[in-house]
Structure 1
Amino acid sequence: MSIRVDHHGLTVADLDASVAFFTEVLGFTEERRAHLTGPFAADVVGVPGADIRTAVLALEGSLLELLAYAAPVAAAAVSDGPEVPGSMHLAFAVDDLPGIVAAAAPYGWAPPGRPATMSVGARAGTTFSYLRDGSGATVELIAAPH
């Protein structure tokens, strides 16, 4: 048996705004867009009536698929924080954490806490920060010591 990671997926509230954030702030390149609907979409995701707009973005050999559901409309987010089982985040190694945090603000992404530097262990001196958008999508920024 052979297994490899193909891509990472993230459901977002606004596809165009999310594509702008990932391309303009984090440097992804947009590869393609698609519209998934009908029996195929419903069968794959297990959501009757699924109507999904997608964008596939690339960064250094990794693919990120953003999915925005036009239908069915979610009543409310299931989780509201990273402490809720089932929540996920994407982590990126960055060289200018403060610059990315500042550049992300106009796109509606902000740290839910504040950047913190690890003081002990294998990653001592490394600074970490989460960024979250208004819908709860979460990315982690990791800056190695200089």
Structure 2
Amino acid sequence: MPVTVNHTGITVRDLDRAEAIFRDLFGFETYSRAPRDPAIISAVTGVPGTRVEIIYMRNGATNIELLCYSGPDGRQDYRPRPVDLGSLHMAMNVTEMDEMLEKARAWPMEQVGEVIEIDQGPNTGSRIVYFRTPEEGLIIEMIEKKAP
């Protein structure tokens, strides 16, 4: 039986801001937004008292799920470094790296490291950089492929 990726879920603090970043900066389109039944979400997450509103967005074949939890109380904020176990990042292909750097900084998003050129692997010759969203701490990598 073939297995394919359905979506990547990202927990966010501010649903409107996260939707705007993915829409305006990275070209995603919203195709669903709604709260979910707390009993069902509590059963799925294994956390009693869970309340959430969810947005589904797409860019081509890539789907993301933005989840904004309003319960239960006592939720925590984790900000793993890119090298820490359990850390995830999302990579975006861009065509004008310098322009995207300025746009990302204007949101504002924090540049984590330096813009570097990859010297090996499938992205050899590409320029990459990591940014972190201030609200949720999501690491977003931008990749500018080497011109053919």
- One fold, TM greater than 0.5? yes
1:100 aligns with 2:104: no
Contact 2:129 2:141 in 1 (8 A): yes
Alignment match, 1:109: 109
- Report the Cα offset of residue 143 of structure 1: 0.9
Contact 1:81 1:136 in 2 (8 A): no
1:21 aligns with 2:15: no
Query: TM-score, normalization: structure 2?
Result: 0.89
The CA distance in 1 between the partners of 2:73 and 2:109, in whole Å, is 22
Query: TM-score, normalization: structure 1?
Result: 0.90
Structure 1 regions of 5+ residues with no counterpart? none
Percentage of matched positions with identical amino acids: 27
Secondary structure at 2:67 match in 1: strand
Question: After TM superposition, what 4+ stretches of structure 1 lie above 4 angstroms from structure 2?
Answer: none
- Report the Cα offset of residue 36 of structure 1: 1.6
Alignment match, 1:137: 138
The CA distance in 1 between the partners of 2:121 and 2:53, in whole Å, is 42
The CA distance in 2 between the partners of 1:91 and 1:74, in whole Å, is 30
- Report the Cα offset of residue 91 of structure 1: 1.1
Alignment match, 1:51: 51
When the two chains are superposed, the root-mean-square deviation of aligned CA atoms in Å is 1.7
The CA distance in 1 between the partners of 2:138 and 2:73, in whole Å, is 17
Secondary structure at 2:110 match in 1: coil
Secondary structure at 2:48 match in 1: coil
- Report the Cα offset of residue 32 of structure 1: 1.2
- Report the Cα offset of residue 119 of structure 1: 3.0
The CA distance in 2 between the partners of 1:17 and 1:49, in whole Å, is 25
Contact 2:91 2:140 in 1 (8 A): yes
Alignment: residue pair count: 146
Q: Deviations over 1:90-145 (max 9, x none)?
A: 11111112212211223232211121112345533211111101131111111111
The residue type paired with residue 109 of structure 2 is W
Alignment match, 1:81: 81
The residue type paired with residue 15 of structure 2 is L
Structure 2 regions of 5+ residues with no counterpart? none
The residue type paired with residue 52 of structure 1 is V
1:9 aligns with 2:9: yes
Contact 1:109 1:133 in 2 (8 A): yes
- Report the Cα offset of residue 6 of structure 1: 0.9
Q: Deviations over 1:48-75 (max 9, x none)?
A: 1111111111101221111111112455
